[in-house]
A and B are shown apart, each in its own frame.
Chain A
Amino acid sequence: DAGITQSPRYKITETGRQVTLMCHQTWSHSYMFWYRQDLGHGLRLIYYSAAADITDKGEVPDGYVVSRSKTENFPLTLESATRSQTSVYFCASSDDRSGNTIYFGEGSWLTVV
């Protein structure tokens, strides 16, 4: 089915491990985003991308790495996971700039123990 999908949906990992969260969209949208949402709080932007091979930092980029080699994929990597990175991670995409709807994935629940 067309849309934006995230994987894994649920992940438990240990402190210091590398974790990659995948995001895939089938609309060929130019823009993609990664947000995190801590329990009881709003969404904070981690990284975003305007097109393949173009990425930029958001509000809370420390501890995260992204890449965008293909338009449809935008993986988020935690190179050395910490407990403070326990959160729900949402990927989003949109076509073009202001005025176009942004679509969100269902989220990836990550627990770092």
Chain B
Amino acid sequence: DAKTTQPPSMDCAEGRAANLPCNHSTISGNEYVYWYRQIHSQGPQYIIHGLKNNETNEMASLIITEDRKSSTLILPHATLRDTAVYYCIVRVAGEDTDKLIFGTGTRLQVFP
């Protein structure tokens, strides 16, 4: 199964871009990369996902390397409310079932 690795923690100044890396070196061609965040033990919140191309939405941008072995989540202007644990997830598809395998997560601390 594909798995992900992330740095355990990162800091970012408010207003600056936060760049969160994720390694998924064993990812298969049909597996998507998802990013979620969790604020203080609330339910994980969906941020963005992608397969091959870079993606952008109102929350963030996702940059996936050409070989798909790593990706970076970019929060363009971090705010204090972005302080959370960010999970990079590779969605593994089986024969008839599907499951999520969470990475270790990166604790992002945004400071004033």
* A residues lining the B interface (CB < 8 Å): 31, 33, 35, 37, 42-45, 48-50, 54, 56, 58-59, 88, 90, 92, 94, 97-99, 101-107
> B49 contacts which chain A residues (CB < 8 A)?
99, 101
Q: Is B59 engaged at the interface, CB distance under 8 Å to the other chain?
A: no
Can you list 30 residue pairs at the A/B interface with Cβ under 8 Å? A31-B98, A33-B100, A35-B102, A42-B87, A42-B105, A43-B44, A44-B102, A45-B99, A45-B100, A48-B97, A48-B98, A48-B99, A49-B97, A50-B96, A56-B97, A59-B101, A90-B44, A97-B93, A97-B98, A98-B30, A98-B31, A98-B93, A101-B46, A102-B36, A102-B100, A103-B46, A104-B45, A105-B43, A107-B41, A107-B42
B97, A50: Cβ atoms under 8 Å? Answer: yes
Tell me the B residues contacting A by CB distance below 8 Å.
30-32, 34, 36, 41-46, 49, 51, 85, 87, 91, 93, 96-105
Instruction: Let me know if B101 and A42 touch, CB within 8 A.
Output: no
Known pairs A42-B103, A45-B101, A104-B43 / 19 extra A-B pairs, C-beta < 8 Å = A31-B97, A37-B41, A42-B85, A45-B99, A45-B102, A48-B97, A50-B96, A50-B98, A56-B97, A88-B41, A98-B31, A98-B32, A98-B91, A102-B36, A102-B91, A102-B100, A104-B45, A105-B43, A107-B43
In the complex, A59→B98 CA distance in Å? 13
Docked-complex contact B98 and A42, CB < 8 angstroms: no
Q: Could you say which of A50, A90, A98, A99 contacts B43, with CB atoms under 8 Å apart?
A: A90
What distance in Å separates the Cβ of A34 from its nearest Cβ neighbour in chain B?
Answer: 11
Task: State A41–B78 Cα separation when bound (angstroms).
Answer: 24
B51 contact from A54, A99, A103, Cβ within 8 A: A99
A6 vs B101: C-alpha distance when bound (angstroms): 21
Specify which chain B residues have a CB less than 8 angstroms from the CB of A56 in the assembled complex: 97, 99
Bound-state CA distance A99–B51 (Å) is 8
